[in-house]
Structure 1
Amino acid sequence: MIFEYFSEKKYDRLVKGFVNNETPYNFIEEIGIGAYGVAYLLEDAASDKKYVLKRLKTKHRHKKKIRQKFDREIKILKETGLHHVPAIISHGKIQDIPFYIMDYIEGKTFEQAIFAEGKRFPLERSLQITKELLSIIKEFHKKGIVHRDLRIPNILLKGNTLYIIDFGLASYINEEIKYDKIINPKRTENHISDLYFIGHFLLFLLYSNYTPTIKKEKSWQEELQLPSAVVDYIERLLLIRPAFSSAEEAFNQIPEI
């Protein structure tokens, strides 16, 4: 464990030296550590525009499957080509550790908005945001890509525009998956995964506007007191009721309040 920690910190210094000496960017700081990667904030020396460098953790350098996932993340990000996704600027290796540099989105994640800033999202606004999110996700699906990690830390709001980040778990859609064979909807390689996460995302938005009146915990259906059409809609996203056949169908059937 000590070796792994030292190895990562040593590699941080290598990244800093590489950025400052071999790229047009200045190294600013480390901004995130995940299960598989580390992210750093960079700044263009001429324009002051900010970027993110993400690299694989050194302890995974000899793990073939994880390296393949990292390579797939780069490939998928390059293929999305959508305004709502950070664009990849370049990619390569630093002493055999793969990395890529992408645009930095200076927005707030919904995790920050809800839990750090205490922002509230009423029902109408929550449904509007969910519809905007679905409009992005259905474009992903048209390109054969499923994100599989649409949690509140991975969805940003910049002004009135949504952005999706962290494609570490993204995959290509497997059209042969049968609904009745799905065991873990979060990890399934089709639209069900993204819609399932969107159901939970919508509940986070709605709970931001909820104040408990009693200590006894109830189901979200009881606590939130939503219109029946909204309850039915969320239950379809969460597979409590029959699933939507696509993100397109979920987009078209979102309740109007």
Structure 2
Amino acid sequence: MEVIRWIIKKLWQTLMDKTFSPIHILANRYKVEKVLGEGSYGIVYLCWDLNTSGKCVVKQMRKSKRKENETMYKQETAVLSILNHPSIPKLMETFTYQNNMFFAMEFIDGENLEDLLFTKKKQYQEKEALLFFKELLEIVQHIHKKGVAHGDIRIPNVIMNNERLFLIDFGLSQNLHKKNVQDDFYDLGDFLLFILYSTYDAPSKKNQPWTKELNLQTNTTCILKKLLQIEEPYQNVNDILQDVNHAISDHIN
């Protein structure tokens, strides 16, 4: 019985959540080039904007989950509309087409950091990792000043273009409050660990904590412990930036 219900549910979702194929033109403006990704929230397309003759990203909400997705749709588009930062994609417009909700945003050309680390084996030495991390922190500082928590700071949501960093995907963003500030900070700790581990070559198969596996300077270790709430956590981005600047200075001196 459960299997039958699952099949019926999937068939219903397939019927409701129409995916538009390449060459299809959405709302007489956006020509679909390809599907970039599909999630429970929506379908993301790379499109050609016929009005500007440039590429853009168009996100379609899944009609099968319209009630729950409508709130996320309103939240994400509202957030993008107030975040005016060169390293965050700009919202172009919201629209409906064939009874589906869409929004279009700026296309960020570049390489996904996850691919750079795991496919191309990009490595970041400690000082380089801290400089890179500082750039991300400055974006998060801007977001928090606008009263927004990103909610999903991970390496797949960072794009690199000519050594410049972009933060994307605000689908899980929320209004800023104490808990999700700490959630963003914990994600930042995970993020920093990922890029620091890019130079790690495991000498053995022993499963050891990062404090033993990574040979880091004291300031960097303290930053990670606070971000990961091993020690008294940070309360704001300014304090993190201050400590990161000190850690970078230690590498210079």
Please say whether Structure 1 and Structure 2 have the same fold, judged by a TM-score greater than 0.5. Answer: yes
Distance between the aligned counterparts of 1:165 and 1:109, measured in 2? 10
Which digits, 9 at most, give the CA deviation of each residue in 1:46-85, with x for residues without a partner? 7642101001112112x2x431111110000011011111
Moved over 6 A (4+): none
Which digits, 9 at most, give the CA deviation of each residue in 1:85-108, with x for residues without a partner? 111111112233221001111111
Report deviation, 1:193.
Answer: 1.7
Distance between the aligned counterparts of 2:98 and 2:31, measured in 1? 20
Question: What is the match of residue 140 of structure 2?
Answer: 137
Question: What is the match of residue 29 of structure 1?
Answer: 34
Conserved? CA contact 1:4–1:59, under 8 Å: yes
How is 1:137-216 mapped onto 2 (pairs within 5 angstroms)? 137-174=140-177, 177=178, 188-189=179-180, 191-216=181-206
Report deviation, 1:23.
Answer: 2.9
Q: Structure 1 counterpart of 2:48, which letter? A: E
Question: What is the match of residue 16 of structure 2?
Answer: 7
Q: Secondary structure at 1:135's aligned position in 2?
A: helix
Distance between the aligned counterparts of 1:125 and 1:54, measured in 2? 34
Report deviation, 1:34.
Answer: 1.6
Conserved? CA contact 2:159–2:166, under 8 Å: yes
Which digits, 9 at most, give the CA deviation of each residue in 1:83-140, with x for residues without a partner? 1111111111223322100111111121011011111111111000111111111111
Distance between the aligned counterparts of 1:81 and 1:230, measured in 2? 30
How is 1:73-152 mapped onto 2 (pairs within 5 angstroms)? 73-152=76-155
Question: What is the match of residue 62 of structure 2?
Answer: 57
Q: Structure 2 counterpart of 1:44, which letter? A: D
Which runs of 5 or more structure 2 residues have no equivalent in the other structure? 1-9
Q: Secondary structure at 1:225's aligned position in 2?
A: coil
Q: How many residues align?
A: 238
Q: 1:219 aligns with which of 206, 209, 212?
A: 209
Which runs of 5 or more structure 1 residues have no equivalent in the other structure? 178-187
Which digits, 9 at most, give the CA deviation of each residue in 1:11-30, with x for residues without a partner? 223896442xx333321011
Q: In angstroms, what is the RMSD of aligned CA positions? A: 1.8
Distance between the aligned counterparts of 1:144 and 1:151, measured in 2? 20
Identity of aligned residues (%): 28
Q: Structure 2 counterpart of 1:193, which letter? A: D
Question: What is the match of residue 43 of structure 1?
Answer: 48
TM-score (norm 2): 0.88
